Amino acid sequence: MLEDLAEGADLDTLHGRSMIACQGQQVSLNFWRKLRERRNYQVGVMPIYRGPSMLCRLLAISCLSSFAFLANAAAPNQVTFSVAEIARRVGPAVVMVRMSGPSGDADGSGFIVDASGTIVTNLHVIEGATTVAVKLPNGDIYDEVRVRAFDARKDLAIIQILGYGLPIVELGDSDATQVGQPVVLIGNPMGILQGSVSTGVVSGIRETAAGGGRVIQIDAAANPGNSGGPLVNASGEVIGVLSFKLRGTENLNFVVPINYARGLIASTASYDLKEFAVRLSGSSSSLFEPAKQDFPKRWKSLVSANTFLVRVDAEHVYVENVMSDEIKRLGGFSNWELKKSGDKYIGTRRAGRPCIHDGLTYEQNFCQLEDSTAITLLSPTRIEGVISGYPDSAKFSCKKCEFKGDRVERPFVWIPME
């Protein structure tokens, strides 16, 4: 009945349906008339009704509360729809996007904004792709896909298939989005559950971590494969593109406002996936970010003859001692793994190498040892730190794989060789 009221059903029809729902005890025409005439009424006011039926009273309160929920979700005089009606209207234009590339296959979602086959999706859905295919809800598959435009900072891409007369979505104004308004998310979770629908509310409007834009935070459920799917308001208008979810959280998802995509949609450019990859590699998404200095790979010690290979990966540092081919052939290794802790990197060096001990006969053994280590200065021009090891004068038992004596803190200093 609520959907009928929102779509303009006559009062006599609603009155008759309420009679069926209340088992013959009608909700008065006054109730429906008041709902029709006023959308900003106070929730909880009991309408006039005939008969003492508790079921009828509950029906009245339920209709009143539900209508308030949708009425508050849209601007005055703006039509609102039920979730089922939104899915019916928008669902046929929500597509599955499947990519294949050197790193494997992946699935995402997108939605058609022009009947000729213009589709909005996430950039990360097609990034690195050598082939892309699009599947419509009716089963049609399009293997010829070109890229019209993209924005690396906003994670948006506009792709084109060779379509005609395809179903499209209606775009809303994302600038009018308000915290607390109900929303519907449509997509293809796991790449197999095409056309899945979830509901929620707008939890917040956030600035992106890197700056330069905003995202809409929602609590509607989303899974891999939903990326690129539309976020829809109560009026059936797309107001955003699902982009990412915080790992380790439940229903904490973020959406790129649709207004960011409007200029991209108007682009008349068109290029294949190879040209897209070239353009993407040269994109200027980080012009406003500090330039990153290349970190040298090969380092030499100033306190020993050792050489090291160093790799810095966000909050981790990985180090490998360079060894002779003969030692490596016998299984020798020495690897470091450290993680940022405050202003230092703390971790462990794990080493293993063959040795020979003489008992009654010379015998070969393979020993593995671990030492705690810390990097106190990490820069592209100098690395300093300490390792908890043994002095060069300490005696080592190859048979027992252990040193004699106490550990000491041994400082080290490395400089780049490149």
- In the set 18, 174, 227, 243, the catalytic residue is 227
Q: Which residues contact 37 (CB under 8 A, 6 or more apart)?
A: none
Task: For strands 298-301 and 307-313, give the pairing.
Answer: antiparallel
- Listed in order, strand segments (DSSP E) in 248-289 are 253-257
Is residue 124 flagged as an active site residue?
Answer: yes
Q: CA distances (Å), 260 to each of 152, 208, 218, 303, in order?
A: 12, 13, 18, 55
Q: Which residues pair with 245 in a beta bridge?
A: 253
Report the distance separating Cα 76 and Cα 90, nearest Å: 22
Q: Is the dihedral of CA 397, 402, 405, 410 positive or negative?
A: positive
Instruction: Name 397's Cβ contacts closer than 8 Å, sequence gap at least 6.
Output: 357, 403, 404
Q: Between the CA of residue 26 and those of 5, 60, 232, 236, 241, what are the distances in Å? A: 16, 10, 35, 32, 44
Report the distance separating Cα 214 and Cα 49, nearest Å.
Answer: 48
Catalytic residue among 107, 151, 155, 174: 155
Q: Does the annotation count 388 as an active-site position? A: no
Looking at 18, 124, 151, 196, which residue is catalytic?
124
Q: Which residues are catalytic?
A: 124, 155, 227
